[in-house]
């Protein structure tokens, strides 16, 4: 009896099972765990060097959208910016520390607001000029800047850029 291998699209975390050609959940989790072990070592190193300084992610939303869009839609914009900033900088030592298994239940995020799009764009330019990695989220079809999130970084290195902004309430 001949065995046939099922062709599957390439997904790096999905490795076909030897006998069936189908990726198993065990395979997915074991490969993810192996990646986490490497990441944990880097995160431990980052944590040791910044133990005295909190790693934080700043998320900035637009007050004009909060007042005119459904609240869930505005929060979603901030979530998009936050996840994008984390994913883009996933190999950065501060991001690894922020997302390490020991810190997942104690992440620090500060959600602030600006008046409108002009202020959000100005903040993005200031962050760029200061070398602060961040994601300015541009909502498509409308093509408007809706939110901004920094990559996770030590509070002392970025807090000065946000000192004049209000907490989002």
Q: Can you give the residue ranges of every domain in the chain?
A: 53-167
As a whole number of angstroms, the distance between CA 8 and CA 28 comes to: 15
Residue carrying the six token digits 């839609």: 73
pLDDT in tens, 102-116: 999 999 999 999 999
Q: What predicted TM-score, i.e. pTM, was given to this entire model? A: 0.70
Query: Which residue positions in the chain have pLDDT lower than 70?
Result: 1-52
Q: What is the CATH code for 53-167?
A: 3.40.1490.10
Judge whether 93 and 46 are in contact, CB under 8 Å. Answer: yes
pLDDT in tens, 74-101: 999 999 999 999 999 999 999 999 999 9
């Amino acid at each position: 009896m001949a065995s046939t291998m099922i062709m599957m699209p390439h997904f790096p975390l999905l490795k076909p099972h030897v006998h069936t050609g189908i990726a198993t959940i065990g395979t997915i989790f074991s490969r993810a765990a192996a990646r986490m072990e490497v990441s944990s070592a880097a995160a431990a190193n980052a944590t040791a060097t910044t133990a005295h300084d909190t790693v934080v992610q700043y998320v900035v939303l637009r007050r004009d959208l909060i007042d005119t869009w459904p609240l869930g839609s505005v929060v979603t914009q901030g979530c998009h910016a936050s996840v994008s900033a984390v994913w883009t900088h996933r190999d950065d030592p501060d991001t690894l520390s922020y997302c390490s298994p020991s810190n997942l239940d104690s992440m620090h995020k500060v959600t602030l607001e600006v008046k409108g799009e002009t202020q959000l764009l100005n903040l993005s330019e200031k962050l760029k000029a200061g070398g602060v990695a961040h994601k300015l989220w541009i909502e498509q079809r409308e093509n408007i800047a809706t939110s901004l999130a920094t990559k996770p970084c030590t509070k002392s290195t970025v807090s000065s850029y946000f000192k004049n902004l209000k907490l989002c309430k």
